[in-house]
Structure 1
Amino acid sequence: MVASLASLFLGAMHTQLSTTTTVPFHGKEELRRYRKIMAQVARLKKASSPDGDVIDCVPPHLQPAFEHPKLRGQKPEAEPEERPKVAGGDTTAAEEEVFPAQAWTDGGESCPEGSIPVRRTKRRDVLRSSSAVRFGRKAPRAAGVVRRDSTSDGHEHAVGYVTGDQFYGAKASLNVWSAKVASPAEFSLSQIWVISGSFGNDLNTIEAGWQVSPELYGDNSPRFFTYWTTDAYQATGCYNLHCSGFVQTNNRIAIGAAISPTSVYNGRQFDISLLIWKDPRRGHWWLQLGSGPLVGYWPSNLFTHLGRHANMVQFGGEVVNSRPSGSHTPTQMGSGHFPREGFNRAAYFRNLQVVDWDNNLLPAASLRLVADHPSCYDIQGGYNRAWGNYFYYGGPGRNVRCP
């Protein structure tokens, strides 16, 4: 877990941990992991957020990424000189995109140049988790992507995907909603997956989007998140900066912080643009939000299959259905409304694109749409000049047709 930052809470928490009987730890390994997580916060400039978050401004070389054995002793690399270019003059991809706002910057807070914002992990964040060892990670048996052979373990999807070629990135715009999540054991997210490998233990993924997760964040706000794994979520990778791996280079975006504003049913729509692509020169996978600066990168040597390229890209929504009281969860996907309601009401992805071998952005051709349980969460798509390839997706979960 995150261990590269100077300690905060260490003395006080160490004393409290030695006497508490309420911490859900099982053995010395979980206790050691908990203490390591609590030792993450630097005594540096801090920014307070209206939603209660604390953002620490951390020197880039002290960020969590550089605790990874393959990255130890390194510093963030320079941004690539060349970003993906729009092929064939496709104007749908060339629009000006809004740089997303976050709650912690609403009051004018910021981190100075030469630092990165890191959302502080608090004691109560870890205690909400079912396991300190698994804190910040997905359940290993829940694939998190639409498998071709199984959609078990309570994870349900409504996604568009492309497969069968060599992909070097993906881009889309998606609107952000305050989806209602029924219990702390569940979440609702909307994201891009960049995938390589089989759907066995060697699955590599890079993921980014927005997520409502009461267990992870302690509230019901939609938050910008990242994820990665090299072994199908078993032992590698994590959300955001909760483990070493992702290298952040941006001083304006805090990964894991709330996105503000959000879309309103029958009102203003607020969307964000996500671009993930593999730098042809150094091979790292970079993340960009809107038309602004890059957020950071996943180093190429973290991965096996994604060290070369991706063989699948997915766009869409995912929820956890824990079946409370034996019924389907009412946790919402997207806006909580079915795609047939259309613009201003349903959640959408638009301008779906992929990056080819020559660093060109191309329309996501031969896009396939699939919903695990259409009566609970559905998906419908199409094409027009303004939005390129697009789809509406989501739903309310439990209803008369989804008992």
Structure 2
Amino acid sequence: MAEAQALLQGLELVWARGYRDVVVEVDCAELIQSLDDEDRRSFLPILSDIRHMKVIGWRISLERVRRECNAQADYLAKLGARSPGVDYSFLDKPPLEVETLFMRDSLLAYTKIYYQVILFDKLYVQMTNMLFFIFSLCLVASNTSNRVDGMRHTLKTDLELERQLKLINKTPIKIIHTKSGQIIDCIDIRNQPAFDHPLLQNHKLQRKPSFKSITGKNIINNSISKPEFGLGKNHCPTGTIPIRRTTKDDLIRGKSVVDYHDMRPSSLDVHHAQVVQKPISGISYHGVRGTNSIYNPRVNKNQSSLSHMWVQNGSEDDMNAISVGWQVSPYLYGDDRTYLFTFWTSSHNSKKTGCYNVLCQGFIQIDKEVYIGGVIDRTSVYGGPQFEMTVSLSQDNITKNWWVIINDKNIGYFPAVLFSNLNSASLLGWGGKTTTPHGTPSPPMGSGQFPDDNFSHACYFKHISYQDESSEHYTPSDFMIRTFTDKPNCFGAKYYGDQEGEDKHSLIFGGPGGECGN
């Protein structure tokens, strides 16, 4: 029936346009009765499709009105029927005839005046606080298969995003509004999003690593300050963990920038300045550590700049990697502040998985105060106060899980089962990376200054070390290290290895960026 087709297509359209509070008024009693009739729903699949649309996670009310109450829909349906070849049209305001009908109804105390946008042939009127549907018995079906297919593709994508949001945004036990403007949900530690991952259905929660973390040392003791991130005293209750609330926009942005980190997207220019620990025969890498100064480089909307340490194994087609550090990425986070971040990627049966922070299931949060994806409020100043954090990415030699430890806090871990080829790492490193749209100037990296032997000028990692299979930490000798900068005219990196003094086994890196070339 034409009414059922119009109702389904109208629901699909407004869902795709983002409306979630909808009233549908129909003057066809038979249609409403059919939706409640199981036998008819099996006989007409379109009725089952409508029923499904009603329960997908929005507020929708389907109401019957008398035909004489539906004069506006009747007029618009006839207007649509007189427009051959037009699937549907948007009107900035109601036609004069419809305004007259609304005015008549209001004068008769018959209905309230609704206004703003009218869609005919699949008809709706957008209200000030809700969406008001008008459907008519005399809608004329038209050949709209291509447009409907496009809407259904959009709907499918939208439904998948809604499904993922429900998995990520669990029912909170407590809600915290941070001074940086984030909404943090305190979730039962056993009900956090990671456990919805298919590979973690029977995962046993590990509340602390089986190894003991080591305490870091500061190089410039008289000018070092701790950065402000995490919830502080206003942390989540015992037995719960903080998860930054995710929006649909966060998911969309997160999916589109995964390739920024990974590896070689053709639409971006990616630049590195880093110190890499080379594969050494007889040594397997099971962790990486260092104390990183934190900056807030100036970055445009579609650019990013970060400082990180990472572990990596496998070829380009079978890449398994974890990265931890700080990042400025307006596209990913919605602003130009500095954020604590993680990134992971793996390949299972040639299918690549992974994401930033907790935009997908994977990372298991343990700490109730410091959370991944949080704002770092205070950052270093060139030649002035330095704010730093000591970060370890260490594999538990019993469970094989990869733990993220920041300033001696066990923040959480990446379960070993997530990775197809990361029982140990063949490569690890420290340094910076920038991304910018192809052919555009690169943003700064680190402090925006080239290394000049002054640790208060350029971004640094101090007292770097690697972890072997015994869980012991060792400083890398000069022969184990390779310094790499892809654009020396824009960035630099320098390693201070086997030497005397406080700077040994440390590196400084960064630069102003600019016109770096491809």
TM-score by length of 1: 0.81
Contact 1:92–1:387 (Cα < 8 Å) also in 2: no
Residues 1:202 and 2:318 aligned together:
yes
1:48 matched residue in structure 2: 177
1:143 matched residue in structure 2: 262
CA displacement, residues 244-293 of structure 1 (integer Å, 9 cap, x when unaligned): 111111101121011132111221001111101111111111110012x3
2:429 matched residue in structure 1: 314
Distance in 1, matches of 2:211 and 2:309, equals 22
| TM-fit CA distance, 1:195 | 0.4
Contact 1:335–1:395 (Cα < 8 Å) also in 2: yes
1:374 matched residue in structure 2: 488
| TM-fit CA distance, 1:33 | 2.5
Contact 1:14–1:35 (Cα < 8 Å) also in 2: no
Contact 2:397–2:471 (Cα < 8 Å) also in 1: yes
| TM-fit CA distance, 1:180 | 1.0
SS at match of 1:348: strand
Residues 1:27 and 2:154 aligned together:
yes
2:14 matched residue in structure 1: none
SS at match of 2:384: coil
Aligned residues: 368
Residues 1:386 and 2:502 aligned together:
yes
Residues 1:125 and 2:125 aligned together:
no
| TM-fit CA distance, 1:99 | 6.7
SS at match of 2:352: coil
Contact 2:276–2:482 (Cα < 8 Å) also in 1: yes
Q: Is the alpha carbon distance of 1:239 and 1:385 closer, same or farther for their aligned partners in structure 2, counting shifts above 3 Å?
A: same
Of the two, which has the highest radius of gyration?
Answer: 2
Correspondent of 1:361 among 473, 480, 498? 473
Distance in 2, matches of 1:176 and 1:231, equals 31
Distance in 2, matches of 1:301 and 1:180, equals 38
SS at match of 2:332: helix
Residues 1:105 and 2:231 aligned together:
yes
1:189 matched residue in structure 2: 306
Distance in 2, matches of 1:231 and 1:100, equals 35
Distance in 1, matches of 2:413 and 2:406, equals 12
Contact 1:274–1:287 (Cα < 8 Å) also in 2: yes
Distance in 1, matches of 2:59 and 2:452, equals 56
Correspondent of 2:392 among 275, 283, 300? 275
| TM-fit CA distance, 1:220 | 1.0
Q: Which amino acid aligns with 2:258?
A: K
Distance in 2, matches of 1:25 and 1:389, equals 57
SS at match of 2:295: coil
Contact 2:162–2:248 (Cα < 8 Å) also in 1: no
What is the root-mean-square deviation in Å for CA atoms of aligned residues? 3.4
Contact 2:307–2:326 (Cα < 8 Å) also in 1: yes
Distance in 2, matches of 1:116 and 1:15, equals 30
1:115 matched residue in structure 2: 240
CA displacement, residues 7-35 of structure 1 (integer Å, 9 cap, x when unaligned): xx99658469x999xxx995344212221
TM-score by length of 2: 0.64
Distance in 1, matches of 2:455 and 2:195, equals 43
Q: Which amino acid aligns with 1:122?
A: T
Q: Is the alpha carbon distance of 1:257 and 1:84 closer, same or farther for their aligned partners in structure 2, counting shifts above 3 Å?
A: closer
SS at match of 2:238: coil
Residues 1:171 and 2:298 aligned together:
no
Q: Which amino acid aligns with 1:33?
A: E
SS at match of 2:278: strand
Of all paired residues, the percent bearing the same amino acid is: 29
Distance in 2, matches of 1:164 and 1:151, equals 28
Contact 1:151–1:372 (Cα < 8 Å) also in 2: no
1:328 matched residue in structure 2: 441
Contact 1:99–1:289 (Cα < 8 Å) also in 2: no
Moved more, 377-386 or 252-261: 377-386
Distance in 1, matches of 2:152 and 2:352, equals 18
Contact 2:172–2:186 (Cα < 8 Å) also in 1: no
SS at match of 2:158: helix
1:162 matched residue in structure 2: 277
Q: Is the alpha carbon distance of 1:252 and 1:173 closer, same or farther for their aligned partners in structure 2, counting shifts above 3 Å?
A: same
1:344 matched residue in structure 2: 456
1:6 matched residue in structure 2: none
SS at match of 1:287: strand
Which runs of 5 or more residues in structure 1 are unaligned?
A: 1-8
Distance in 2, matches of 1:126 and 1:355, equals 34
